[in-house]
Amino acid sequence: ARVRALFDAGRHKTIATLRADGSPRISGIECEFADGDLTFGSMTGARKGADLHRDPRFALHGPTFHPVEGQEKDWPGEAKIAGTATPAGAVTAHGDGDGEDGPQGESFVADITEVVVTGLNQEATLLVVEWWTPAGGLQHVERE
């Protein structure tokens, strides 16, 4: 619920995929949690979609909001999700008036392998990093 709230706090997220040569690609993206799944799309011809077909690994960073000076205790933190993307079919746009509906992109469903939440402790004096993986479960560390 906390990760979803952090992701839902803003519309635009950032996704990292791997190019054909193995170098990283950073792209803007929108995503949603629907029926228990994390889904996102790629417009027809977009490189991130091609990247995900070639190598389905991704990292997704939620919206970033900076702590307000003097109000650090109120900062909600930020969330990151990593995993693999599975193609889930075409996305079709309707009603542009030309009588033709067609694929405008495709949808992907995430198989989540890691979740990270970064925030501050109650006193706003330490950075708190909490992460979850299927093998390691929930863990956390505090740093100055």
71 burial (CB, 10 Å; 0-12 / 13-18 / 19+) is exposed
Domain positions in the chain: 2-117
Q: Give the separation between CA 114 and CA 133, rounded to whole angstroms.
A: 5
> What are the angstrom distances between the C-alpha of 94 and each of 11, 46, 64?
22, 20, 32
Q: Report pLDDT digits (tens) over 98-116.
A: 556 656 899 999 999 999 9
Instruction: Give the architecture (CATH level 2) of 2-117.
Output: Roll (2.30)
This prediction's pTM: 0.86
At residue 65 the predicted structure's pLDDT band, cuts being 50, 70 and 90, is confident
Q: Report pLDDT digits (tens) over 3-43.
A: 999 998 888 999 999 999 999 999 999 999 989 899 999 99
Nearest Cα to 2, choosing from 116, 122, 84? 116
Q: What is the mean pLDDT of the chain?
A: 91
Query: Dihedral of CA 16/19/24/27: which sign?
Result: negative
Q: What is the largest CA-CA distance in the chain?
A: 60
